[in-house]
Every structure is written in structure tokens, then in C-alpha cells.
Amino acid sequence: MLKDAPDILLTTPESLEGMLVSTRIDRPAWFGHLRVVIADELHAFATDDRGWHLRAVLRRLQQYVPNEMQRIGLSATVSNPNELLNWFAPTGGKQVVGSASVSTDADVTVDFVGSLANAATVIARLHRGSKRLVFCDSRSSAEQLTSTLRAQEVRVFLSHASLSNSERRLAETAFAEEKDCVIVATSTLELGIDVGDVDHVIQIDAPSTVSSFLQRMGRTGRRAGGRRSCLFLCTNDDSLLLAMGICRLWNEGWVEAAYPPPEPWAIMAQQAMAATLERSQWARQDLILLLAGAFPESSTRGVTDLIDHMVQLGFLMATDGVLQVGPVTEKRYGRAHYKDLLAAFSGTQLLLRRCGNVEVGFIDPMMLAGDKEVRLILLAGKSWHVIDVDWKRQTVWLEPAKEGGKARWTGTGRTFSRQIAQGIFRALQDGAGKHTVISRRAQVELEEVIETIPEAGKTAVLVSERNESSTARLWTFAGTRANRTIAKHIHSVAEVRRLDALGLDLKTPVDAKLLNADFPVSELLFSADEIKERAKPIKFAACLPDALLVEIIRMRQFEQAEAQGQKSEWSGDYWRKR
């Protein structure tokens, strides 16, 4: 049994969870003298379920600590630090280090290049002799860009979450020591990791939040006398509009507030199983009190209903008021010492190996679809030929290929907030702002885009389209979730072919008077099949009763469409047809 705790422990919520459930750790000895917990980049945790997971694990740690732990949250890109801190530390000593102010003292340029290949050409020719950090917002584009840059004999390194640890460390170390190179990264290098002095940050397309933009741009200008800078290289019209909106909001001194996702019932179910695994058994009422204390925002009645439902399904087992881990939990999560139970998120990945035991990274099984005789994939910026797949061991063996590999990972589309959509709305009216330079290429492309939007985006309107897939385009500038709400409410009278943050493409016309009505989230109804489909991204959804699952779907995937005065923009003379 491990008894001696280190003076300083750098860890993650998942690792802490592992230590709590481990039978090899003397928990009172390890955690009994814990005094301070520091959460770096707290906003990055708080805005998804890892934040709920972290806070709940800290609540369980407190059982082994005689004195209240002090909690310190670090964040420099959040507009509501006090609210965030009160959520992170509901009781006891607490402190947040950060600022809600946004500096616009930086050199920012938006350019339009039209394709990833053109972006690679620009990067290869620009800022030679310096360190360039290039951000992409998908692993696939990061892989493709790296491969294209290497073909142009650029010294380039790659970092994203599906590479092996050794591959990522190689890139980070090399970039810190090199003088003339490019590192291509996803959000893995946005937070926390020190990659040394960076001369230039280049963004392919645009991130989905102002906070991410600030974090990435903040990698530059760290040397004495240095100045922050960022160059957007947009490959399509949608990313150009997004870059304009991001820059507009930044020019206005705005940054997102960090709010935890509502209705954390799935994480509560995970904690019920993990806490029971930790102690082997719990008195039913004691477990309810623990969960109610870890999630004070939720009703005690809801906690009780959840525990009863988990007992009914076999995730927990009740005997004379005592709860133990149930057979369904053992069957579903028991492999590899309950590894999958300890994380708030999951992924479907395969471990890759080449040349024996050298790990390259992870791929999505979908990359192996297609011709079984010749499978070429792109990973670590290199092409590989798949020579064997062991599905039982979740292992793929590779050998180098000259070229032709493709990168593909499945995932959900990005969701953009109402504020981002409104930033685009204002940018269409009068530009991205005085602190942003728009290249001539970007300006010409933007003017062409504006011509397709009636009144240059000055109002929300319904217009006819000339293509065969849609007869009308409803411009709302309301954000992705609000547009989902609209689509759900009008689906019985109008077929929605596609939606995004700015509007909806309709297959059939719709009476504008219908759109004057409110679209409350509370009235949204879902069929059993739709609940099943929408619950796929929610880990531990199988543990939840349908009523709680529907509330998660409503509150996380949708938004009140009539909020913030949007209704007034959708009425009267603003409706036009042509």
C-alpha cells in the first residue's frame, strides 16, 4: 500500500478519481495533510462536465482532510471570475487569480486563402527563420497541414490529443529548442504547456470562442518588448465570417463568461458509482447526502430518484439500506480496473503501433472503413499503411507509406453562442473593428459574401434561395442552440434542411407570422428514438431516467429562441421575400 504522499502533486480529475478508488493507496495518509488545491485555467474545466467532475472529486477528498481545503482558481480569460469562484468553492477558503479585462493591444490580421493547401503555401513563405505556432480546430486539418508543409520542406512538428505522449513530447521539446520551425497544434497547446518564446501565432480558420483566441494569441509577445499578434488564414466563407465576429467582440473588449453546463445528472450518476467503488458500500442515505453536498444546485428529490433508478437498473445494488456496486456497473465499466468509469468523457480510439512496440498515436475506427486490402492513413503528419488490426486488443500495426494517407476523426459539429453570432452580425454592418487589419483578399471575399445576405445583415430576414436544396433561408444571427429550438418548433410545418449559428435553410416555405411566436425550451418534446440519438454524446446516459435525460438535452442542446430581444427582429416589415 502506498502511504507517503508527495508535497506537491500535479494531477487531473481522472487521476484523482483513480487514487480515490485504488486499493493500493492509504487515502488518509495521502490526503490527510492536503491544504491547497490549485486549478489552473479554471475556465477550461468549468465549461464542460470535467468541471463538475473535479468539484465532486474534491468534495470526496474532503472526507480525508480534517481542515477545509483552500481552493485557488487561475484564469486570465473569463468575464465572471467571482461567479466562477463561488461555483468552484461553495464553502471554505477560496481565491481566484485572473482578470475580466481584455486588452486590445495586439497586431491582428484576417486573411482569406481559400484552401488548406494555400494556407500551407503562405505559412511556408511567411516569417522564415522564426518560430511559428499554427492552430487548427480539428485533428484532421492539423494532420493534413503538417503533411503538406513537410512536402514543402518546412521543418514542422505536430501536437494533438490523438498522438502518443512520446510524439507530443518530441514536438514540444523540439519547438522549444528550435530557431526556425513550425508547430501545428489543436487546442492541446492552447493551455498550460510552455513551448518557449513564440514569434508568431497563425490561426487556420477561427476558434469558436473569444477566450480561445485570446489564449492562443497570448502565446506571443512574452519576451521583453514583444507584442502579441495573430494572423487568421481563412479557408472558406464560414470561417471568414467567424473570424470577423471573433475579432469584432475582441475589439469591443468582450470575452465569454464561464458557466458550468446545466443539469449535471450524468456526472452525479458517475459519482454514485465511483464513490461506492471507493468505499465498497454506502448507507443509502449517506450516499444521497454526499451527492447532494457535491451538487447543491440539484434537488435532493432528484438525487433520490436517480439513486432509486440506478438500483432498479442494476448499476447499484441495495441490501437492507446499504448500497454496493451493481452487476451492470461491473459488466459495463469493470474492464481495466474501471478505467472508463473514472473519466467524465469517453472516446472510441485504437492504439497504434509500428516497428514493434513504438507507439504512434490513436485513430478513430472509422478511418479503417473502406478497401480492406489497401488502407492508407495519415497520423503524426506521415502516411502509413495498415498491415494488421487486432480488434480484441484494440491495436493497429502500421508500416510507413510514401504518400496518400488520409486523416479522419468522427465528432460533433461545433456549437456557436448567440454572442458570437451577434458579433458576426455587427461585423457585417461595420467591420471587425479598428484593432484588426483585413487583407485585400479577405475584403473582396467578404464583399461577395455580404451580397448573398439581404440588407447586408442589417436585419433578420427570410429570403428565397436559387439552389434546389432549399427554397428559403431564415437569417436569425441567434446562435446554434437557439436555431435548434426554432427548427424543433417549426418542423411540423417547415422542413429544415440545415442550420448553423446564423440561420436555417428551409426546404419548404413558412408563414412569417408563425415566427413571431415564442419558442420556449420547456415545451420541446422528443420521441424515444430522438432521445436515444441526442443522448449519444452524454456519457453515463444509460444510468439516467428519461425525465432527467430530457432535461439535460433541453438545457444543453437548445436555448430560448425568444431571448434578448430577438423576437422584435423577426416581425413586421423585416420579413421579405423575393
What φ, ψ does residue 78 adopt, rounded to 5°? -145, 140
Q: What is the DSSP letter of 2?
A: B
Classify the C-alpha dihedral 385-387-391-396 as positive or negative: negative
Q: Please give the grid coordinates belonging to residue 493.
A: 410545418
Q: Are 449 and 243 in contact (CB under 8 A)?
A: no
For residues 65 and 91, the answer to whether their CB atoms sit within 8 Å is no
Question: What 3-state DSSP class applies to 351?
Answer: strand
User: Is residue 491 included in any domain, yes or no?
Assistant: yes
Q: Say yes or no: 229 and 272 in one domain.
A: no
Residue 418 counted as domain residue: no
pLDDT, residue 371, reads 60
Q: 501 in a domain, yes or no?
A: yes
Please answer whether residues 77 and 83 qualify as being in contact, where contact means their C-beta atoms are separated by less than 8 angstroms: no
Q: What range does the domain containing 469 cover?
A: 454-574
pLDDT in tens, 97-146: 556 678 888 999 999 999 999 999 999 999 998 889 999 999 999 999 99
Tell me: do 21 and 67 sit in the same domain: yes
Same domain (yes/no): 268, 300: yes
Residue 157 domain-assigned? yes
Do 90 and 114 share a structural domain?
no
Q: How many domains does the chain have?
A: 4
Residue 7 counted as domain residue: no
pTM of the model as a whole:
0.90
Q: Is 55 exposed, middle or buried (0-12, 13-18, 19+ CB in 10 A)?
A: buried
Helices (H), 360-415: none
Same domain, 131 and 168: yes
Which residues of the chain have a pLDDT value below 50?
456-460, 563-578
pLDDT, position 193: 63
Last residue of a domain, one of 251, 273, 297: 251
* The predicted structure's pLDDT at residue 577: 27
Residues 6+ apart with CB under 8 A from 279: none
**Domain end (from 342, 360, 388):** 342
- Whole-number Å distance between alpha carbons of 209 and 418: 11
Q: What is the CATH number of the domain that holds 214?
A: 3.40.50.300
Q: Where are the beta strands (DSSP E) in 55-209?
A: 70-74, 94-97, 107-112, 131-135, 156-159, 181-185, 200-204
Question: 116 with 235, same domain?
Answer: yes
3-state class (DSSP) for residue 84: helix
CB 457 within 8 A of CB 422: no
Clarify whether residues 470 and 552 are in a common domain: yes
Rg (CA), the chain: 25
Q: Same domain for 111 and 95?
A: no
Per residue in 429-474, pLDDT tens?
889 999 999 999 999 999 999 888 865 444 445 665 555 566 788 8
Q: Are residues 309 and 219 in the same domain?
A: no
Q: Could you say which DSSP state residue 98 is in?
A: -
| 3-class DSSP state of 40 | coil
User: Distance (Å, rounded) from C-alpha 430 to C-alpha 547?
Assistant: 46
Domain end residue (candidates: 342, 358, 373): 342
**Together in a domain, 503 and 567:** yes
List of residues 6+ apart from 107 with CB closer than 8 A: 227, 228, 229, 230, 437
**Do 265 and 180 share a structural domain?**
no
> Would you put residue 419 in left (φ > 0), alpha (ψ -120 to 50) or beta?
alpha
Strand partners, 200: 132
Among 206, 214, 218, residue whose Cα is nearest residue 244: 206
Q: Are 191 and 216 in contact (CB under 8 A)?
A: no
Q: Which helix (H) or strand (E) holds 358?
A: strand 358-363
Residue 191 lies in a domain: yes
How confident is the model at residue 176, as a pLDDT? 75
> Does a structural domain hold residue 132?
yes
To the nearest 10 degrees (0 to 180), the angle between helices 49-61 and 284-294 is: 120
In a domain, 1, yes or no: no
CB distance 390 to 353 below 8 Å: no
Whether 241 and 121 map to the same domain: the answer is yes
